Structure 1
Amino acid sequence: MNITRENIDDLNAVLKVDIAKDDYNEKVQKVLKDYRKSANIPGFRKGHVPMGLVQKQYGKAVLVDEVNKLLQDSLQKYLTEEKLDVLGNPLPKDQEDLNWDAGDYTFEFELGLAPKFEVDLQPKKAITSYTIVVDDKMVDNQITTIQKQYGKITSKQEVENDDEVSGSFVNEEAEFEKKTMFEVAKLKGKANTSAFVGAKVGDTVTVSTKGLFEEAGDYRSFLGLSEEEAKEKNLEVSFTIEEVNRREPADLDQELFDKLYGPGVITSVTELKEKIKEEGENQFKQQSDQQLLNDVTERLIENTEFDLPAEFLKKWIQRSGEKELTFEEAVEEYERSEKGLRYQLIEGKIIADNELQITFEEIKAYAKEMIKAQMAQFGQNDPKDEELEGIAARILSNQDEVKRLSEQLMNKKLLDFFKENVKLKEKEVTFDEFVKEVYN
């Protein structure tokens, strides 16, 4: 057997595979002999069917099967030995006139080659790395929320300024519906407040999404839209009041502190504020880190230029699924997936060039840390290592979990790498400022 490669250009090549009868005949004959031993053909005892009959009945199918196996094994071995970085899989060229009686065969395969490129981690314009701080206003709002959450709830029939209402915002024409609960005090402007105040359970109120709430974050919480989306859509929505409640706030005393954090952990309002600030900034760090990862990804795709074997990839997408697509469908799928493919190549190069690969021991250690954190949430702050090992072993016996943890750990490694190597501009913002800059 002989394999030769012709490079069409930097991104496309054709493999020519010559297979002689000696390459496959021994395996074909062995399979046919095994068939002869087990074949049940009327008029012949098992194991005594003439070889010519077995050859006539099964020979062509066995030949095709063995040649295809040989092709796949040989192609994989060739790609590995030649260290060819290919996209997708080799695509066989159409050979409608292939004569399976010839004995010697020639097959051709199209290859899509991965492009060569460099990644510039120092863009001219620095990427913003946000640090979200919890300001006094947010702390005070959180304390007010806690007091209401742990306070006494009184059901009412008529809405007043300090009440909360439950129901759904609906616009049937736009197929928009959002079930929610919000405080009347969060509405923006006299017109919106007046629409609710005085309404009763069962009444329907009509308002517009544009300018409905005071705070930018409230649009996502109560409408499921960003402030900008609510403004652009400017939907007229109806809200049927299902429930009205008045919450009498709980006192800021030791009983409340103990309910929140356990006996004696917090002993004053000052300590409570410090704890809320610490927890909030830890939570926001995850959000700002994810945004940084998203922003770096977008910038790398934008600034890293290289060509792809587009026509090959469209053909490969067309043929590689369970059901063959039309060429038009394949083109649409390629256009949807091109950006993701580009980042996969960029990410792969960064990982390879900087040796960011993950070991199984790292995955296990990461799993144990996650388990410890989850156990701490339920008051188990000092689990034994044997217990952690046992839980981790059960988790890592599931390949889907291993894949999920590997992706999380790689994202963490990439994030740490980007923080150290990408040109960044630090910016301290409140959460509301972060929402306005990132989501609007």
Structure 2
Amino acid sequence: MNITRNNVDAQNAIITIELAKEDFQGNVEAVLKNYKKSATIPGFRKGAVPMSLVKKQYGTAVMFEEVNKLLQDNLNKYLTEEKIDILGNPLPVAKDINWDADTLSFEFELGLAPDFTVDLGAKNKITKFNIVADDAMLEEQVEFIQKQYGKVTAKDKVEEGDAVRVKAVNEAEGINAEFNLNLEDIRTKTNQKKFIGKKVGDVVTLNTKGLFEDDHKLMDTLKVDHDKVHGLEVDVDFTIEEVTSTEKAELNQEFFDKLFGEGKVTSVEELKEKIKEDAEKQFAQQADQKFTNDVVEFLVEETKFDLPETFLKKWLQTVGETPLTEEQAAEEYEKSEKGLRYQLIEGKIITENELQITFDEIKDYTSNLIKDQMAQFGQMEPSEEDVENIVSRVLSNQEEVKRISEQLMNEKMVKLFAEKVNVKTKDVNYKDFIKESYGE
């Protein structure tokens, strides 16, 4: 057997494997001998079929199978020993093979992984936001909690400050949604007053333009697509199905104990501090995700390397359950190219910064996740045995292991980016974060 490599260019190579008959003939003979023991051919007892008939019936198929095994085993071994980094899988080159020849020659196309460098410290325009819960937001949240735990009373007629359950309809736009609506959520006093004095069954018509402070609320309530909601300007009929008023819960020790446990919070100031802590923890996750996305976009844009595009399109035609046409493969390549580029960039970052994840890290990370979840339900000091049992159950599920590993790696990447990417930081409240991040 002889294996040679010919580099077509920096992105493509051809591997040629030459097999002599003696490389595979022994395996073929051994398989055929086993076939002879169990072959069933009319006119012969089982195990007594002449080898000539066995070869005639099974010889060609067995030879193809044994040659293919030999090719795959040795091709993979060669790629590993020579440390050849490839994209996709080797593709056999279609050509006529003279199976009677003393030496058989096979060729495989390779798409070579590019050689490149990643400069995390390169100059950029990325901003890392630190979202703070400001006083206005804390006041809103306190009032929200008071209403959430307050006494709700059903009413016949709408008054200022009430909540209504409405059915919103605009048949032309395909809008048909039911939801609860606090009158204070409506942006203008003019629109709020249109509900005052109305009763169950009455219809109020409002235009969607500027109906709420944030178009995302319009998207969530009316079930309108993100791309469609911005600039949407249509009349919607709101049929009142229920009217309720809420007497806000009193901010006293009984209320604090009900929310957080006895003695955990003893004043409005401590309540706000607790809300601030919880809110900013959630905000940090959103800010980190935005930061990560911005770094990824920057790295994909600024890290230059060529891909074996022609090879990858050809490979995409064969890799799925259903073969693709050239046009379909080209479309698939366009959709996946950016993701492939980042996979390569991420792989290099992980290797160069030794971010590989061990199973012990996954176990520890899972344990902390479980303890945090248990704490949310009041179990502040679970036993180690209980936690370990839950960890074992979680990690017996391969999908969960994959999800947790990705989550852990994402946190490692965020930490690395924060340390090595030169960015400016900016403190903002949540509304300004949405505005500056998404222009909405």
Partner of 1:107: 106
**Aligned position for 1:281:** 280
- What is the rounded CA distance, in whole Å, between the counterparts of 2:115 and 2:204 in structure 1? 60
Contact persistence 2:367–2:391 (CA under 8 A): yes
User: Which amino acid in structure 2 is aligned with residue 47 of structure 1?
Assistant: G
**Cα separation, partners in 2 of 1:39 and 1:279, compared to 1, 3 Å:** same
Q: Which residue of 1 aligns with 2:398?
A: 399
In structure 2, the partner of 1:77 is 77
Alignment of 1:142-221 (within 5 A): 142-215=141-214, 218-219=217-218, 221=220
CA offsets, 1:226-276, max 9 Å, x none?
A: 999634233443333332221111111122111110111111112111111
1:373 paired with 2:369, answer no
Matches within 5 A, 1:18-97: 18-95=18-95, 97=96
Query: Is the 1:186–1:215 contact (alpha carbons within 8 Å) kept by the matching residues of 2?
Result: no
Which residue of structure 1 aligns with residue 356 of structure 2? 357
Q: Write the letter of the residue equivalent to 1:136.
A: D
Deviation, 1:195, is 3.7
Per-residue deviation, 1:11: 0.6
The C-alpha deviation readout for 1:317-355, integer Å capped at 9, x for no partner, is 111100001111111111111111111011111111111
Q: Aligned letter for 2:87?
A: L
Cα pair 1:154 1:247 within 8 Å, conserved: yes
Structure 1 residues without counterparts, runs of 5 or longer? none
Distance 1:80 1:73, change over 3 A: same
Deviations 1:15-37 (A, max 9, x none): 11112211111111111111111
Return the offset for 1:360.
Answer: 1.1
237 and 4 in structure 1: CA distance in 2 versus 1, 3 angstrom threshold: farther
| Separation in structure 1 between the aligned mates of residue 281 and residue 28 of structure 2, nearest angstrom | 65
Quote how far apart the aligned CAs of 1:178 are.
Answer: 4.7
Instruction: Name the SS for the 2:122 alignment partner.
Output: coil
The answer to whether the Cα contact below 8 Å between 2:151 and 2:249 also exists between their aligned partners in 1 is yes
Rounded to whole Å, the distance in 2 between the matches of 1:129 and 1:219 is 28
- Preserved contact between residue 210 and residue 230 of structure 1 (Cα < 8 Å): no
Change (3 A) 1:379 1:283: same
Quote the offset at 1:100 in angstroms: 3.4
Q: Secondary structure at the match of 2:279?
A: helix
How many Å apart are 1:191 and its aligned residue? 4.0
The structural deviation recorded for 1:138 is 0.8
CA positional deviation for 1:362: 0.9
Q: After alignment, is 150-159 or 430-439 more displaced? A: 150-159
For residues 218-233 of structure 1, the aligned pairs below 5 Å read 218-219=217-218, 221-223=220-222, 230-233=229-232
Task: Please tell me the residue identity of whatever aligns with 2:117.
Answer: E
Could you tell which deviates more after superposition, 203-212 or 110-119?
A: 203-212
In 1, distance between residues paired with 2:201 and 2:6? Answer: 76
On the 8 A contact 1:301/1:339 being kept in 2, the answer is yes
Query: Which deviates the most, 382-391 or 356-365?
Result: 382-391
Report if the CA contact (8 A) 2:168-2:238 is conserved. Answer: yes
- TM-score under structure 2 length normalisation: 0.94
Match of 1:247 in 2: 246
Distance 1:228 1:195 in 2: 29
Amino acid at match of 2:372: A
Q: Structure 1 stretch 66-75 or stretch 166-175: which is displaced more?
A: 166-175
Helix, strand or coil at the partner of 1:328: helix
Structure 1 188/379 Cα, relative in aligned 2: closer, same or farther at 3 Å?
closer
Contact 2:37 2:46 (8 Å CA) reproduced = yes
Aligned mates of 2:269, 2:87 — CA distance in 1: 59
How far apart in 2 are the matches of 1:136 and 1:225?
32
Q: Identify if the C-alpha distance between structure 1 residues 18 and 233 changes in structure 2 by more than 3 Å, giving closer, same or farther.
A: farther
Aligned-pair distance for 1:219?
Answer: 4.1
* Aligned mates of 2:329, 2:199 — CA distance in 1: 55
Residue 141 of structure 1 pairs with residue 140 of structure 2: yes
- C-alpha RMSD over aligned residues: 2.1
For the Cα contact (< 8 Å) 1:209–1:231, is it kept in 2? no
CA distance in 1, matches of 2:181, 2:112: 55
C-alpha distance in structure 2 between counterparts of 1:199 and 1:101, whole Å: 93
Deviation of 1:303 (Å): 1.4
TM-score by length of 1: 0.94
Percent identity between matched residues is 57
Structure 2 gaps, min length 5: none
Paired residues, number: 439
Indicate conservation of the 8 Å contact 1:187/1:212, yes or no: yes
2:215–2:230: 8 Å Cα contact kept in structure 1? no
Counterpart-to-counterpart distance in 1, 2:196 and 2:262? 41
SS in 2 for 1:276: helix
